[in-house]
């Protein structure tokens, strides 16, 4: 089973990895919309909101690349997936804390932010950790669990990117930029 873990998944990982890469590029465009806003506010908001979103897309891209790479042992893929999940989990926890503390001088975050930027991604990253452990143990459902987690991360990232742009654009216009 070790050599065949991701056999037949090529199209899925090519599609989802390409989508993540394109969305990372679009986030750089979104960042340019913050150019006229107060720098300290933008930097704090980026840590809480933008960084986790980029991490989601980065984990999807990295995991897809590893899954598509030829002859990567399942154990090596499991370690890389697990490390990616730990990085994502740490960022999700940081987002939860940052959202609970709030941004100085700004209105409180929307109640959904805590869940979509923090809690839901944390649950998905825990699922990816479980999928990594299953991959290490060569359990048959590991490929399906990994795919499900990546799809969930991509969808959460798309939702969060949409939330960011709908928050940034009106503020930029209101401040005359």
Q: How distant, in Å, are the alpha carbons of 48, 156, 163 from that of 160?
A: 11, 6, 5
Taking only the tens place, the pLDDT of each residue in 92-144 is 999 999 888 876 666 778 888 999 999 999 999 999 999 999 999 999 999 99
What does the alpha-carbon distance between residue 79 and residue 86 come to, in Å, rounded to a whole number?
Answer: 11
pTM of the entire structure?
A: 0.88
What does the alpha-carbon distance between residue 50 and residue 18 come to, in Å, rounded to a whole number?
Answer: 20
Q: What is the predicted pLDDT for the residue at 110?
A: 83
Q: What is the 3-state secondary structure of the chain?
A: CHHHCCCCCHHHHHHHHHHHHHHHHHHHHHHHCCCCCCHHHHHHHHHHHHHHHHHHHHHHHHHHHHHHCCCCCHHHHHHHHHHHHHHHHHHHHHHHHHHHHCCCCCCCCCHHHHHHHHHHHHHHHHHHHHHHHHHHCCCCCHHHHHHHHHHHHHHHHHHHHHHHHHHHHHHHHHCCC
What does the alpha-carbon distance between residue 138 and residue 45 come to, in Å, rounded to a whole number?
Answer: 40
Q: What is the predicted pLDDT for the residue at 1?
A: 47
Residue count of the chain, please give it: 177
Taking only the tens place, the pLDDT of each residue in 4-54 is 688 899 999 999 999 999 999 988 887 777 666 666 666 667 778 888 999
Q: What is the predicted pLDDT for the residue at 56?
A: 97
Question: 59 — phi, psi (to 5°)?
Answer: -65, -40
Closest to 41 (Cα-Cα) out of 129, 104, 130, 111: 104
More confident position, 165 or 35? 165
Domain residue spans of the chain: 2-174
């Amino acid at each position: 089973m070790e050599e065949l873990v991701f056999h037949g998944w090529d199209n899925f990982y090519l599609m989802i990895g390409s989508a993540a890469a394109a969305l990372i590029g679009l986030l750089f465009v979104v960042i340019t919309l913050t150019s006229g806003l107060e720098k300290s506010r933008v930097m704090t908001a980026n840590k809480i909101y933008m960084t986790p979103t980029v991490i989601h897309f980065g984990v999807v891209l990295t995991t897809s690349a590893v899954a598509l790479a030829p002859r990567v042992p399942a154990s090596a893929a499991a370690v890389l997936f697990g490390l990616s999940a730990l990085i994502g989990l740490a960022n999700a926890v940081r987002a939860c804390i940052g959202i609970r503390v709030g941004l100085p001088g700004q209105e409180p975050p929307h109640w959904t932010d805590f869940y979509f930027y923090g809690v839901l991604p944390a649950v998905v990253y825990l699922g990816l950790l479980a999928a990594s452990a299953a991959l290490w143990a060569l359990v048959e459902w590991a490929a399906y669990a990994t795919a499900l987690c990546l799809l969930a991360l991509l969808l959460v990232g798309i939702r969060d990117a949409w939330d960011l742009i709908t928050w940034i654009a009106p503020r930029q216009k209101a401040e005359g930029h």
